[in-house]
Amino acid sequence: MATILVLWCLLAASVGCTLAADCPASRLHLTEAPYQNYFLSDCITSSHVIVTSPDANTNNSNAKPRLLVAWPAGNSGAAAYFEAENNETLGLHLESSTTDGEVLETVNEPAPDGAKNENARVGVKGLIRFNTPALLTLPILGSIRSIRDYSEGGGILSPDVQNAVVTEKFGSDGGQFYRTWFDGVTTTWIDFTPASGAEAVQIITGDKWKLRFGTGTYAFRATFNYPQSDQLSASEVLNNASQGLVKESVELITSLSFLSYSNKLLAGSWRFLTYFGRDSMLSALLMQNILSQGEGGALEAIIGAVIERINNTDGTVCHEENLGDYASFLARQKGIDSSAPACDYKMVDTDFLLPVLMRDYFINTDTGRSRAAPFLTKKATFLEENAGVAYCELAQRTAEKIMNTTAPFVSSHVASNLIHLKDGESVGEWRDSGSGLGGGRIPYDVNTALVPAGLRAIATLSQAGIFPDHPEWADTADKYAQVWEDETLRFFEVSVSQSDAQQLVEQYVSDAALAGPPNTDQITGNITFYSLALGGVNNKPVRVMNTDDCFRHFLLNTTDQDQLSLFLDQTADHILQNFPVGLSTDVGLFVANPAYAGDKSISDQFKNSDYHGTVVWSWQLAMMAAGLGRQLARCDADGAPDFCNTDLRSKARDAYKALWDKIDKNRAQLSGEVWSWEYNNGYQPVPLSAFSTTESDIIQLWSLTFLAVHEEDV
């Protein structure tokens, strides 16, 4: 589905500066129709340029002609939306430069003497061609969040943002838009001038000023003057043993480098070009065997970014940072004049990942053990409220929160004491779209996997002296973990009789008007799975089959033998049985299958147009593969589980191999965030944006984990 072209080069020159020969620039071109994605990174700045050009073959009514530039620095960007002047179909594309043959070049202009903002004006320039006269009808300048809210939020535009956009002539025959951010010093510009004999750019005045272009080619520049981040190069993001990937997997390592910086790793581009705690930690756990360690390495960048953003009051780990123009925007809504970064703390899953990652690095690696003391004594600087607080203190706040919130269930074993979404929030874990949990309040993945994994890690960290104020955790956290491992699955278990399962699947196929086969011949007994969440409609379990089994397989080595065997058996069934009986299709495992919900109002929330519906997420494939590999590898270690001596081991191996067959078949999609499907003599991969206003990120951090996750001989 994605056509990939990767070019590595050295930039000889750019506007305003000459790059040294030891400063390589990386270029990447990824196609997912109707989106053309161009990446350019060098020692000056990093830019992601997306050209959207729908045509008669575009199966996407939401796509609009557009030029979008996204910058990791400040999670910022510039978007220009176009319309054909007449009723023709507007096509636009980038052209190669006549000087160096490249599609994009870096812009770097020093700040004028005496300027209020002393940062250089940097960005990207190129050539864009229109096949028919066009109007630039809408510029959005500043935060990526503003652009995302418009594209996915039904055209939401903030008057405070848009009213600050200035339109003016640029030179003798060009035009530009610019906007000064809410901080009063940073500015984003986008300008256009005719090239190759094209007509002059015209400014059309009115309530909303527009720029008019004739048929032909125009030079564009998108720039801003925000402080730049220190990007990790392809070699810097990898450990010594993995340097071969720089040449073996050029496009994937280029993507990983684009998202990697000395102080954090970013979730994805273009829509999530900033820190997300869950994304970065899950990525680190899956890729820890290839990421660079030690001071200045990728693993410490991830852990440090998480600890820096912990809520010092209650220990909650930050889900998403707000910085740059969007931070100022949110502050203004509260009546505060500030551009200081802030955090979103609404998630309930992210806390439990931090101790797991800390244990895996500071306890389980030689480098981590040597770095624990100097790293954890560092003082926080990112958030004003955390300034001067040692990393070890902040990490301990999170561990204290985990111990406090998990204790009630240990003493009671009742569902009401499981981890719930926060009051007033409809989301709280990775399925964080409005319908991702089907209205549930007690998420399966958090309670049955993340909580006990976090507790196990706290015990190990305490045993190593990481939390000297709480030596008792060495024993107590392990006891807590055992209870959560053994006693939580039963609340989520769903068992459907063979006859009921056949009827439910047939009714679902009819209700959803599925084109594919019902596959009910694969129902040869009861169907067992674990509900997506508890506390759904009428306070019932959300009976949606799902891939979140992968968390438990990957994060835990459980010891209740009967429970482990039953759990592994039903996971293998879901992989071996085809949708809508199981989760398996030619395009991968669906992260949700609502066929057994028995409620159309539930199943309607999990369609192939829904962000967490009957769609495929790359990282869930990776974690499922890694998790099953870990469980099967236990059979070759001391104290092998009981299933290793039964037919279940063979069945699990079959499921593991079947999963890898599907992964291999979908290599073209794996670096992207999520994909959907259409049925045409089988399931065919289709971009989610074909059915939704959501554009899947063309590169996503946790979708790059197949760099490290491989099929094992188990």
> How do residues 103-143 score in pLDDT, each as one tens digit?
999 999 999 988 888 999 999 999 999 999 999 999 999 99
Q: What share of the chain is helix, strand, coil (3-state, %, to 5)?
A: 35, 25, 40
Which tens digits make up the pLDDT trace of 175-192? Answer: 999 999 999 999 999 999
Ramachandran bin of 653, using left for φ above 0, alpha for ψ from -120 to 50, beta for the remaining angles: alpha
Which backbone phi and psi does 249 adopt, to 5 degrees?
Answer: -130, 60
β-pairing, 46-52 vs 35-41, is antiparallel
Domain that holds residue 303: 240-483
Q: Residue 414 class from Cβ within 10 Å (0-12 exposed, 13-18 middle, 19+ buried)?
A: exposed
How far, in Å, CA of 320 to CA of 277, rounded? 7
* Residue indicated by tokens 């209740």: 560
In sequence order, what are the residues at sequence separation of 6 or more whose Cβ sits closer than 8 angstroms to the Cβ of residue 153? Answer: none
Closest alpha carbon to 161 in 81, 224, 78, 83 = 78
- Whether residues 589 and 472 share a domain: the answer is no
Residue where one domain finishes, among candidates 455, 483, 511: 483
Residue 470 has what pLDDT? 98
Do both 478 and 511 map to the same domain? no
> Quick one: 446 and 583 in the same domain?
no
Domain boundary among 483, 500, 524: 483
The Cβ-side half-sphere exposure at 391, using a 13 Å CA radius, reads: 22
Residues 511 and 473 in one domain: no
308 is written with which tokens? 């820096």
Where would I find the beta strands (DSSP E) of 57-186? Answer: 66-71, 76-84, 92-95, 104-109, 121-130, 134-143, 165-170, 174-180
pTM of the full predicted structure?
0.95
User: Domain ends where: 483, 512, 531?
Assistant: 483
714 in any annotated domain: no
Residues 344 and 468 in one domain: yes
Give residue-wise pLDDT tens across range 670-705: 999 999 999 999 999 999 999 999 999 999 999 999
Whether residues 619 and 648 share a domain: the answer is yes
Q: How many domains does the chain have?
A: 3
Average the pLDDT over 421-433 and give the result: 97
pLDDT at residue 9 in the model: 35
Distance CA 188, CA 411 (A): 56
Asked whether residue 244 falls in the same domain as residue 199, the answer is: no
* Residue 450 and residue 373 share a domain: yes
Region 60-67 average pLDDT: 85
Closest CA to 477 of 352, 335, 623: 352
Which pLDDT score is estimated for 6? 40
Q: Which residues contact 75 (CB under 8 A, 6 or more apart)?
A: 143, 144, 145, 273, 274, 323, 324, 326
Nearest to 444 by CA among 475, 404, 478, 484: 484
Lowest mean pLDDT among 81-85, 140-144, 214-218, 689-693: 689-693
Please tell me whether residues 679 and 603 are part of one structural domain. yes
